[in-house]
Amino acid sequence: MKVLIAPDSFKGTMSARVVAEALAAGVVDGGSEAVVCPLADGGEGTAEVLLTVLGATRVTVDVDGPLGDPIGGWYARSGALAIIETATASGLHLVPHCNPQSALAASSVGTGQLMAAAFDAGATEILLGVGGSATTDGGAGALSALGEHLSRLTSVRVLCDVRTTYERAAEVYGPFPAHWDPKLRIPRGQVVAAASIVSPKY
């Protein structure tokens, strides 16, 4: 019997590839054939999966982490296509002690720096996975880091697995509903403001 092994990552513990290989080992031990095909949903692990599938090249870039500390971010490059994962530059795993203060302070500047670096290197299209972010700035930090490339946002396609509207992200995915924690109303205001600036143009 042939068994298809197609898991997503186990959040905060194992990548999709590690999970798939562990499951495949069990299938093979049981006497069946395993076909390994790791998946991703636009969150952490998306760039790694597409890197393998597309035979892309890993490009490392020094960027600002979500709290402003320098980190080594990266993106995958396949020809003129760049695959960027928000989590690699602005992810939750880069904020070891999450609290309301760090959530409000976290910025997506590093993600924008990755995008700018990809455009500078000749990319004409970007696939941007937006899951796994530690930030609540609505992408304002990323937009500020794009500089002269801001006009190229139409070359960016967003990868995600939800339909929650942009403005409601903080209250839906924050730790508590907005009526329980007034702090979550602050990032909602931030993203509404960012949307009002960007939406008319893009």
pLDDT of residue 136: 77
Q: Chain-wide mean pLDDT for the chain?
A: 83
CATH class of domain segment(s) 41-198 = alpha beta
Model confidence, pTM? 0.80
Domain residue spans in the chain?
Answer: 1-39, 41-198
pLDDT of residue 64: 96
pLDDT of residue 137: 81
What is the full DSSP assignment across the chain? -EEEE----BTTTB-HHHHHHHHHHHHHHTT-EEEE-----SSTTHHHHHHHHHT-EEEEEEEE-TTS-EEEEEEEEETTEEEEEHHHHHBGGG-SS--HHHHHH---HHHHHHHHHHHHTT-SEEEEE-TTB---STTHHHHHHHGGGGGGGGGEEEE-S----GGGHHHHHSSS-TTT-GGGHHHHHHHHHHHHHHTTT-
pLDDT of residue 15: 84
Instruction: Pick out the chain residues at pLDDT < 50.
Output: 176-180
Note the pLDDT tens digit of each residue in 36-89. 988 888 888 889 889 988 999 999 999 999 999 999 999 999 999 999 999 999
